[in-house]
């Protein structure tokens, strides 16, 4: 069972690394650019080490009335304050000092939207962080790194789609244009015969940049119920960005792809 979970976690990480919404690979992060995570030492009550001295209690939380005197004192000059919160010593809340019990793995998902020219040939521009707008997504935690990876992948699939940058967002004509002929030959080096692979240039090669892949994904995403509900205002901006797919495509590129149409 553990063996199966480990492999599922591995598959989840590979999925995240190839997803067009969270992995533009602008930082080279080993997990995924759009997945932040941390290990959090926690007590048996699920409180992290950062809360070992004080626990923040919000008015309206279950059992907050127990600390009503603290709220009255803290907000005596503004009793009608809409949001009220007080810090209560950990030992007062739980009757014992904070003690490490287990590790939790917390995560937060961020997705990216490309705001540059999707046909820009300069690779540095395609992976320049300034050309990507970041948007916050779901966050949560798990009791192991493997469970966290699986949980993150499941959420990404549910919200941002079960996609892979390659080949889900490539046109068939683009795949054909990327065929590169190669041949191998043997060459002696320092008395040893080694296989040296040489490449024959493909004059009809067509780039499919990460920015273009991201915008093609965005074109799908803005029509999802999730985007319509959670990102209503942003969709107006995104729709303008998606137009770049057609408006900025060079004529030479169009002509090359047309040659490969069935």
pLDDT in tens, 98-134: 999 999 999 999 999 999 999 987 888 888 888 999 9
Q: Residues, the chain, total? A: 262
How far apart are the C-alpha atoms of 197 and 189, rounded to whole Å?
14
- Dist. CA 69–CA 75, nearest whole Å: 10
* Strand duo 132-142 + 102-114: pairing: antiparallel
Residue 69 near residue 76 (C-beta atoms within 8 A): no
* SS3 call for 208: coil
Q: Which pLDDT score, from 0 to 100, does residue 262 have?
A: 60
Q: Tell me what pLDDT residue 204 has.
A: 75
What does the pLDDT read at residue 61? 94
60, with CB counted inside 10 A (0-12, 13-18, 19+), is exposed
Per-residue confidence (pLDDT) for residue 192, from 0 to 100: 55
pLDDT the model gives residue 189: 54
User: Tens digit of pLDDT per residue, the chain (262 long)?
Assistant: 666 888 888 899 888 888 888 876 655 555 678 889 899 999 999 999 989 999 999 999 999 999 999 999 999 999 889 999 999 999 999 999 999 999 999 999 999 999 999 998 788 888 888 899 999 999 999 999 999 999 999 999 999 999 987 788 888 888 877 765 544 454 555 555 555 555 566 677 888 888 999 999 999 999 999 999 999 999 999 999 999 999 999 998 999 888 887 6
Quote the CA–CA distance of 50 and 64 in Å, as a whole number: 21
pTM of the model: 0.80
CB 166 within 8 A of CB 175: no
């Amino acid at each position: 069972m553990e063996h199966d979970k480990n492999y599922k976690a591995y598959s989840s990480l590979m999925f995240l690394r190839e997803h067009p919404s969270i992995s533009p690979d602008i930082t080279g992060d080993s997990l995924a650019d759009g997945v932040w995570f941390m290990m959090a030492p926690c007590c048996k009550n699920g409180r992290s080490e950062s809360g070992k001295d004080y626990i923040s209690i919000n008015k309206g939380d279950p059992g907050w009335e127990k600390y009503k005197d603290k709220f009255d004192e803290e907000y005596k000059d503004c009793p009608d304050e809409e949001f009220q919160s007080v810090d209560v010593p950990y030992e007062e809340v739980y009757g014992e000092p904070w003690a490490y019990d287990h590790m939790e793995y917390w995560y937060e998902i961020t997705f990216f939207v490309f705001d540059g020219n999707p046909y820009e040939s300069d690779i540095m521009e395609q992976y320049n962080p300034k050309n990507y707008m970041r948007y916050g997504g779901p966050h949560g935690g798990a009791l192991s790194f493997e469970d966290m990876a699986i949980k993150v992948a499941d959420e990404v699939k549910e919200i941002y789609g079960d996609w892979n940058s390659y080949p889900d967002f490539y046109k068939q004509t683009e795949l054909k244009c990327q065929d590169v002929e190669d041949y191998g030959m043997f060459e002696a080096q320092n008395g040893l015969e080694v296989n040296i692979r040489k490449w024959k240039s493909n004059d009809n090669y067509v780039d499919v940049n990460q920015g273009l892949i991201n915008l093609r994904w965005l074109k799908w995403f803005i029509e999802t119920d999730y985007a319509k509900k959670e990102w209503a205002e942003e969709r107006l901006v995104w729709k303008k960005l998606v137009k770049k797919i057609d408006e900025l495509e060079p004529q030479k590129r169009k002509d090359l792809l047309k040659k490969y149409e069935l």
